[in-house]
Structure 1
Amino acid sequence: MNQKDLINQIGQIRSLMEKSSKFMSISGLSGVLIGSYALIGACIGYVLVYGFNSEFGYRDNYVNSAIIPKLLCVALAVLLISVGTSYYMARQKAQKSGQSVWNPTSKALFKAMAIPLITGGVFSLILLLKENYSMIASSMLIFYGLALSAASTFTFKELRWLGVLDIILGLLALCLPGYGLYFWAVGFGVLHIIYGLIVHQRYEK
């Protein structure tokens, strides 16, 4: 065995070790669908808050307590459909490769996401109860971005960039609360679609 063959074999072994330590069953197409759900939810939320005849632009008025239950229903529906789609497509992808969708790596991934997601959820709930509605969109983006960055250690490296961009958008939304809904739509919608297309192109074709 010459040196070139030895280097190739070491590279293959390293690649196999990396794949075995990462959760690769996340579907890129599920990212596209989740982003699409978020955009639909953002459009519904915009209509609920501003109506059909309003113009796009900076908003110095925020939602009131009367509209909150409707927005929560929309957000909950988007969340449940997104989680269901993500799990179903991950399970289908795992079955095709002869793996289990619930394994030590996926458990580690969800544990890494749990703390920032739970913290962000509680923080957003506190803002909701305090009627500080202008900060909810930004806080959701920031904590969600932190969760994605933490989870990227156990899956595709592209997830880290999605998390970083969501954090940046969340900070911008904090500075410009009148554009909160737009930042939310870009972070949870557009960026998810772009991420899903990149993952699908690089790893699933």
Structure 2
Amino acid sequence: MTNQSPTEQSLETLQDIKRMMERSSRFISLSGLSGVSAGVCALIGAWIARGWLTPYVDSDGSAQGEYHEHPLLQRMIFLALGVLIAALASSTFFTWRKARRSKLPIWDHASKRLAANMAIPLAAGGFFVLGLLDHSGWSYVAPACLVFYGLALVNASKYTLTDIRYLGLLEIALGCVNMYFPHYGLRFWAAGFGALHIVYGLIMWWKYERS
């Protein structure tokens, strides 16, 4: 039995209360490996898309003709949906595994608030992207995705680990820069959804899960 001073006992009690409050108000089971897996899925999707787009773009990334009206557009949409499903499935698995190991629920009040606050900017971004496609704004789809996704992360950071806020700010910044280089959208998309996710995931794993 360890002998603790009253001060040490009080500090330990305060830490326990703080952990309990965080568990009730924040979704802390988000796994760093979820970010890594989502990033890998995005990079694979970008690699496939690059192969499809090569015959339709010049060396500087500008389009050869009106390929946004080509059947390629439909293939790209299905590819994007496939990447999204794969990223969500792998991220959910790693988050579920972390929650089970920590003996925490994966679907509680905190996770519901997290999902709701992410859904609002994502839904708005989805309609915005559909509007761009309808008005032949293909070149601005990637920056719009990055900006709205970043806004979703910043909006949801109040209900999970605060580190996700920095990822959201980086996504927004990357999307804003991409607005001035629209012909390089796929590269920015791969950097934002691929590379940034992997780096963020590794940092989160090292910071919270390594032990």
TM-score (norm 1): 0.91
Q: Residues 25-55 of structure 1, C-alpha deviation per residue, up to 9 Å, x if partnerless? A: 2121121111011011111111111149x88
Q: How does 1:43-192 map to 2 (within 5 A)?
A: 43-51=47-55, 58-61=60-63, 63-66=67-70, 67-192=72-197
Q: Is the 8 A contact 2:33 2:91 kept in 1?
A: no
Q: Which moved more, 1:83-92 or 1:98-107?
A: 83-92
Q: CA RMSD in A?
A: 2.0
Instruction: Tell me, in whole angstroms, the C-alpha distance in 2 between the residues paired with 1:4 and 1:25.
Output: 28
**How far 1:199 sits from its partner (Å)?**
1.0
Instruction: Tell me, in whole angstroms, the C-alpha distance in 2 between the residues paired with 1:196 and 1:51.
Output: 34
Instruction: Tell me, in whole angstroms, the C-alpha distance in 1 between the residues paired with 2:196 and 2:207.
Output: 16
Instruction: Tell me, in whole angstroms, the C-alpha distance in 1 between the residues paired with 2:31 and 2:184.
Output: 30
Q: Residues 55-111 of structure 1, C-alpha deviation per residue, up to 9 Å, x if partnerless? A: 8x6323274221201111111110011111112222222222222211100000001
Q: Is the 8 A contact 2:147 2:171 kept in 1?
A: yes
Q: Secondary structure at the match of 1:171?
A: helix
Instruction: Tell me, in whole angstroms, the C-alpha distance in 1 between the residues paired with 2:170 and 2:134.
Output: 28
Q: Name structure 2 gaps, 5 residues minimum.
A: none
Aligned-pair identity (%): 40
Q: Aligned to 1:40, which of 41, 44, 57? A: 44
Amino acid at match of 1:191: L
**How far 1:13 sits from its partner (Å)?**
2.1
Q: Residues 124-168 of structure 1, C-alpha deviation per residue, up to 9 Å, x if partnerless? A: 011111111011000000000000111111111111011000000
Q: Name structure 1 gaps, 5 residues minimum.
A: none
Amino acid at match of 1:164: L
TM-score (norm 2): 0.89
Instruction: Tell me, in whole angstroms, the C-alpha distance in 2 between the residues paired with 1:113 and 1:92.
Output: 22
**How far 1:8 sits from its partner (Å)?**
4.4
Instruction: Tell me, in whole angstroms, the C-alpha distance in 1 between the residues paired with 2:13 and 2:100.
Output: 28
Instruction: Tell me, in whole angstroms, the C-alpha distance in 2 between the residues paired with 1:140 and 1:32.
Output: 19
Q: Which moved more, 1:185-194 or 1:171-180?
A: 171-180
| Compared CA separation, residues 130 and 154, structure 1 to 2 (3 A) | same
Instruction: Tell me, in whole angstroms, the C-alpha distance in 1 between the residues paired with 2:105 and 2:13.
Output: 27
Q: Residues 140-199 of structure 1, C-alpha deviation per residue, up to 9 Å, x if partnerless? A: 000000001111111111110110000000001111102111111000000000111011
Tell me the number of residue pairs that the alignment of Structure 1 and Structure 2 aligns.
Answer: 203
